[in-house]
């Protein structure tokens, strides 16, 4: 099993290319089930989750072809993938596929809208909370679907003649359920209004792609999204937006290790709140023609309190990384997690490196230390795993992160990108 070995102490200098967003690519890929034409997606990252979803879509009958190219030696792949779902051969998403990745549950929306039925296993994914599917079920029920859960599967059936436009207000913001309801509503009869919708950039990116396919969606990027149903959707070509979580992660890595790095092919507007927190911690951040520049030379890391919130708030997917940064701050900081109830599993692993962290409910108190020391640690989920890498960059000696298959789900060629900027990071196999 692969591990990541880090020898801390090196500053980061150079350029890191930011990949396409995993959290945008997955719903965009699933949207290909809504049409029998070809949907072409550019800038798709090469990740374990993407490969798993390719297998799932193939199970439903999608024909998938991949074009990849390498611009410079050592740089990550920029891939273009063509999805053609001319015939849906199965409306069942089986447990053995869906259990490995929560986002694969989202096929329920397009299958129900296009085929009038879907049988989808209850989902799996990172163990960061219960993340129930009740919001998905309530939203689809508002469009006229009949849904029951039996034997670990969600069985959904549309009314004769297809789904019906309706109004649904989410009791709490859900990115995944917003994706699903928006996709399902594109082919519904009549107009659908989604209230308290997720405002994340990835939701807006999906809406732009669906509109290019012939959908009639407005209000994306706000808390109220309106979808006028159409009879059918066509193919389109769409470029996946930059990964704001990867952007924030590398910005925090530079703030932790020190140095001067350009993050290429990304946009500051995708993560203003997170970048402001990194600035408050002591890094200098500026926009460039090609992306974002992060600089921290000499100054200590200042303590910063944050609270995770739906967009435009501080992203829960950057909480673990920011905690890693705060372990070496010059004071006491507090991180409150409001999205997932079980997303502090990285705390005990950071403690192995010498971090001083205490928990009280959903708030972590981090007392910054002057020295972290390398140790063997274990990744517990996708974002927690990279927080250990960030801490390891500033720890004395060697840190070895095991269970890095979590990293491979969401970070494309992480060790290559960091190594090119001077870090001592390598992948080792048993």
| Domains of the chain, CATH where assigned | 2-18+243-429 (3.65.10.10), 22-232 (3.65.10.10)
Q: What's the confidence (pLDDT) of residue 131?
A: 46
Q: What's the confidence (pLDDT) of residue 123?
A: 80
Confidence bin at 112 (pLDDT 50/70/90)? very high
Is 135 labelled as part of a ligand binding site? Answer: yes
Is 230 labelled as part of a ligand binding site? Answer: no
User: How many whole angstroms separate alpha carbon 234 and alpha carbon 251?
Assistant: 38
Mean pLDDT of 235-257: 98
Confidence bin at 77 (pLDDT 50/70/90)? low
More confident residue, 429 or 421: 421
User: How many whole angstroms separate alpha carbon 220 and alpha carbon 193?
Assistant: 11
Q: What phi and psi, each to the nearest 5 degrees, are found at residue 300? A: -75, 170
Q: What's the confidence (pLDDT) of residue 343?
A: 72
Confidence bin at 381 (pLDDT 50/70/90)? confident
> Alpha helix (H) ranges present in 290-345?
319-326
CA distances from 27 to 22, 113, 122, 183, 398 (A): 9, 15, 17, 9, 38
User: How many whole angstroms separate alpha carbon 235 and alpha carbon 402?
Assistant: 42
Q: What's the confidence (pLDDT) of residue 74?
A: 42
Q: What's the confidence (pLDDT) of residue 380?
A: 81
Is 254 labelled as part of a ligand binding site? Answer: no
Is 306 labelled as part of a ligand binding site? Answer: no
Nearest partner of 183 among 159, 208, 164, 207, judged by Cα: 207
Mean pLDDT of 248-260: 98
Q: Is residue 209 annotated as part of the catalytic site, yes or no? A: no
Percent of the chain having pLDDT more than 70?
A: 95
Nearest partner of 406 among 374, 369, 377, 366, judged by Cα: 377
Is 131 labelled as part of a ligand binding site? Answer: yes
Is 317 labelled as part of a ligand binding site? Answer: yes
Mean pLDDT of 384-389: 90
Mean pLDDT of 188-201: 98
Q: What's the confidence (pLDDT) of residue 76?
A: 47
Q: What's the confidence (pLDDT) of residue 68?
A: 57
3-state secondary structure string, 38-65? EEEEEEECCCHHHHHHHHHHHHCCCEEE
Cβ contact 275:48 at 8 Å:
no
The answer, yes or no, to whether residue 73 has pLDDT greater than 80, is no
Q: What's the confidence (pLDDT) of residue 125?
A: 42
Angle of helix 134-141 versus helix 175-185 axis, rounded to 10: 20
CA angle (226 as vertex; 224, 227 as ends), nearest 5: 150
Mean pLDDT of 120-148: 79
User: How many whole angstroms separate alpha carbon 273 and alpha carbon 45?
Assistant: 24
Task: Give the pLDDT confidence of 296-339 residue by residue, as tens digits.
Answer: 987 899 999 999 999 999 999 999 999 999 999 999 999 999 98
Select, from the ranges 64-73, 243-252, 380-389, the one with the highest average predicted confidence (pLDDT).
243-252
Q: What's the confidence (pLDDT) of residue 70?
A: 43
The answer, yes or no, to whether residue 362 has pLDDT greater than 60, is yes
Cβ contact 170:195 at 8 Å:
yes
Lowest mean pLDDT among 11-20, 159-168, 199-208, 378-387: 378-387
Cβ contact 207:181 at 8 Å:
no
Cβ contact 2:429 at 8 Å:
yes
Is 22 labelled as part of a ligand binding site? Answer: yes
Task: Give the pLDDT confidence of 397-414 residue by residue, as tens digits.
Answer: 999 999 888 888 889 999
Is 23 labelled as part of a ligand binding site? Answer: yes
Lowest mean pLDDT among 49-58, 227-236, 337-346: 337-346
Percent of the chain having pLDDT more than 90?
A: 84
| Residues present in the chain in total | 430
Mean pLDDT of 348-372: 96
Using only C-alpha atoms, the chain has a radius of gyration, in whole angstroms, of 22
Confidence bin at 341 (pLDDT 50/70/90)? low
User: How many whole angstroms separate alpha carbon 312 and alpha carbon 139?
Assistant: 23
35 three-class SS: coil
The residues facing 14 across adjacent strands are 261
Of the candidates 126, 154, 253, 414, the residue annotated as catalytic is 126
Is 404 labelled as part of a ligand binding site? Answer: no
Is 293 labelled as part of a ligand binding site? Answer: no
User: How many whole angstroms separate alpha carbon 362 and alpha carbon 341?
Assistant: 7
What's the chain's average pLDDT? 93
The answer, yes or no, to whether residue 195 has pLDDT greater than 60, is yes
């Amino acid at each position: 099993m692969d591990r990541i070995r880090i020898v801390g102490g090196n500053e980061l200098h150079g350029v890191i290319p930011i990949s396409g967003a995993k959290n945008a690519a997955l719903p965009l890929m699933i949207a290909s089930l809504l049409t029998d034409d070809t949907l072409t997606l550019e800038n798709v990252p090469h990740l374990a989750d993407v490969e798993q979803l390719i297998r799932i879509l193939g199970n439903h009958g999608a024909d998938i072809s991949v074009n990849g190219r390498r611009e410079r030696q050592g740089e990550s792949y920029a891939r273009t993938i063509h999805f053609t779902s001319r015939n849906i051969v199965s409306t069942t998403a089986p447990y053995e596929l869906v259990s490995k990745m929560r986002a694969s549950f989202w096929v329920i929306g397009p299958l129900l809208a296009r085929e009038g039925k879907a049988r989808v296993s209850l989902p799996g994914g990172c163990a960061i909370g219960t993340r129930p599917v009740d919001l998905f079920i309530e939203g689809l029920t508002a469009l006229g679907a009949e849904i029951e859960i039996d034997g670990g599967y969600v069985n959904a059936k549309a009314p004769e003649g297809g789904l019906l436009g309706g109004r649904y207000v989410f009791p709490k913001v859900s990115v995944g359920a917003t994706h699903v309801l928006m996709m399902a509503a594109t082919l519904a009869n009549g107009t659908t209004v989604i209230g308290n919708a997720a405002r994340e950039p990835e939701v807006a990116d999906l809406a732009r792609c669906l509109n290019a396919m012939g959908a009639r969606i407005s209000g994306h990027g706000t808390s109220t999204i309106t979808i006028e149903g159409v009879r059918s959707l066509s193919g389109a070509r769409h470029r996946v937006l930059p990964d704001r979580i990867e952007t924030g992660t590398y910005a925090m890595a530079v703030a932790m290790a020190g140095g001067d790095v350009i993050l290429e092919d990304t946009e500051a507007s995708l993560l203003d709140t997170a970048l402001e927190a990194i600035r408050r911690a002591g890094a200098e951040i500026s926009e460039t023609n090609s992306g974002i520049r992060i600089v921290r030379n000499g100054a200590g890391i200042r303590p910063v309190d944050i609270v995770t919130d739906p967009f435009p708030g501080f992203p829960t997917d950057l909480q673990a990384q920011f905690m890693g940064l705060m372990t070496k701050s010059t004071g006491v900081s507090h991180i409150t997690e409001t999205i997932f109830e079980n997303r502090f599993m990285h705390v005990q692993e950071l403690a192995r490196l010498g971090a001083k962290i205490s928990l009280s409910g959903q708030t972590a108190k981090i007392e910054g230390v002057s020295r972290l020391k390398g140790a063997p640690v274990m990744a517990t989920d996708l974002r927690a795993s990279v927080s250990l890498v960030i801490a390891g960059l500033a720890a004395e000696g060697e840190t070895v992160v095991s269970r890095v298959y979590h990293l491979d789900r969401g970070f494309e060629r992480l060790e290559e990108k960091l190594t090119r900027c001077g870090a001592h990071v390598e992948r080792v196999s048993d």
